[in-house]
A and B are shown apart, each in its own frame.
Chain A
Amino acid sequence: MSELALLPTRKDEAFRYTDLDALAGVWPVAREDILVPSGQITSLSLVEQGESAVARHLVIEIEADAAFDLRILNTGNMFGRIAVEVKLGERAAFTLGAVQLGAAGETLEIVTQVSHEAPDATSRQVVRSVLGSHATGTYLGKVAVARGAVGTDAGQSVRAMLLDRTATANAKPELEIYADDVKCAHGCAVGELDAMGLFYLQSRGIPPAQARRLMLQAFVAEAFAGAPEEERLQVLALAALEQIV
């Protein structure tokens, strides 16, 4: 998935749903390398909350017995793309909790490739998207388990909530497994807010926008649960949600 200087096309799977015109404005995307040395535990909160276009390309190597916790809030930009490549060493752990909140004609995408290259590593990905108006939210996530990477434990939970019939969610959790004795789970759902739940909240005196905000806040909260900066992220997500409900 190395992003060459040549602008990608839609034929390139990782750019299938990209806003190519917006991408051209920020191309080429600089590669950001992160190394988590053996035995270390680190975390990063990535908040992309602009008003124009942004593309990031993180390449993360997590060495043996190390852990990396990555949280992403992707919102506000007309185009916001975050690509993450992760390579896991033995018994390494990777956590991704990502929230995409899109309105108007925004195109937001998270593209991950998590490679389990050694035994007993763990990866957890939780992605929650809330999309209104004509927004498009995409998650393309590939988990690759190499030959010999036994004891791999990988999970992907991808859910999107559409606030309007005109919004679009694309989700493609993908597994490529070349080892035996691995545990890989993925779940994916695209839906709308529960109408009966909304009526229940309103029947208690809560106005519609506040009821939607309350339910959506709960929906995205899971992605930030347990993060070192959980409180800050939840507050930022809530503020962004209030803009789109």
Chain B
Amino acid sequence: MLHIDNLQAMVTASGADKPILKGLSLTIKAGEIHAIMGPNGAGKSTLGYTLGGRPGYTVTGGSAVLDGEDLFALEPWERAAAGLFLGFQYPVEIPGVSFVQFLREAANAQRTRRGEPALSGGEFLKLAREKAALLKLDMDMLKRPVNVGFSGGEKKRAEMVQMGILDPKLAVLDETDSGLDIDALRIVGEGINAIMRKPGKAVLLITHYQRLLDYVKPDFVHVLAGGRIVKSGGPELALELEEQGYEAVA
């Protein structure tokens, strides 16, 4: 599914280049859920943005291959059509553009690129309604401008609705659990399971805390520190981290 080999990347901010990822390797097979944990500044969000192709995040070495496709040879929108979904820690507000219009254009742009027929208006709305119900998000919210006026929890649920509609192979979810109350955490967790816990799919959860992992049980847990993975293990590693902290474990 996803094979990351010796990935090195830097972030350019205010004209200065800063190396963040320093030789990160990770293999995720279809059907697996992996969690990446790590202290602040370890490079967790950089990993997500680098895979997604955000401007300002430059790959300086290594590779990432998703189902045979070299991600770094593709533009961000092409990576999405190749099956990558990036869940944002801070979903972006787009004034004036409704979720419904945005997601229909996104779904159909992906389909067109893959050579699949476009969804009709009716088919799309049926799909959107189904996924909104799954995440307990009022369908009327999707008629509003993208993320504008949404609470933190609503934004994260809307991200999962997007994931449900776009139906990716691999979801990289960057702190999808931040800003969620206990009920929303459960809804989002169950949503991830319902959408992504399937044979041909995989998830990379980027998180600080164990709590999301109570709902979305990872098969593997990795500790990211200093731009590379310093320790890997099973779900028990997350519990160990929660108890003892990063410094003691990694």
**B227 CB → nearest A CB, Å:** 22
Q: Which of A1-9, A48-56, A100-108, A214-222 is found at the contact surface with chain B? A: A214-222
In the complex the two chains form, is B102's CB within 8 Å of A204's CB? yes
A243 proximal to B (CB < 8 A)? no
Interface centre among B52, B77, B79 (most CB of A within 10 A): B77
Contact of A200 among B79, B94, B109, B110 (CB under 8 A): B94
Instruction: Name which residue of chain A comes closest to B82, CB basis.
Output: A205
Q: Identify which of residues 164-207 in chain A touch chain B, using a CB-to-CB cut-off of 8 Å.
A: 194-197, 199-207
Total chain A interface residues with beta-carbon distance under 8 A: 23
Interface centre among A194, A195, A200, A204 (most CB of B within 10 A): A204
A148 proximal to B (CB < 8 A)? no
In the complex the two chains form, is A204's CB within 8 Å of B80's CB? yes
B210 proximal to A (CB < 8 A)? no
Contacts of B162 in A (CB 8 A): 204
Total chain B interface residues with beta-carbon distance under 8 A: 32
Which secondary structure dominates where chain A touches chain B? helix
Q: Whole-angstrom distance between the alpha carbons of A200 and B174 in the complex?
A: 14
A38 proximal to B (CB < 8 A)? no
A40 proximal to B (CB < 8 A)? no
Given contacts A194-B92, A206-B109, A214-B105, 17 further A-B contacts (CB under 8 A): A200-B91, A202-B53, A203-B54, A203-B77, A204-B77, A205-B77, A205-B80, A205-B107, A206-B77, A206-B106, A211-B77, A214-B97, A215-B94, A215-B97, A217-B96, A218-B95, A219-B96
Query: Interface of A with B (CB < 8 Å)?
Result: 194-197, 199-208, 210-211, 214-215, 217-219, 221-222
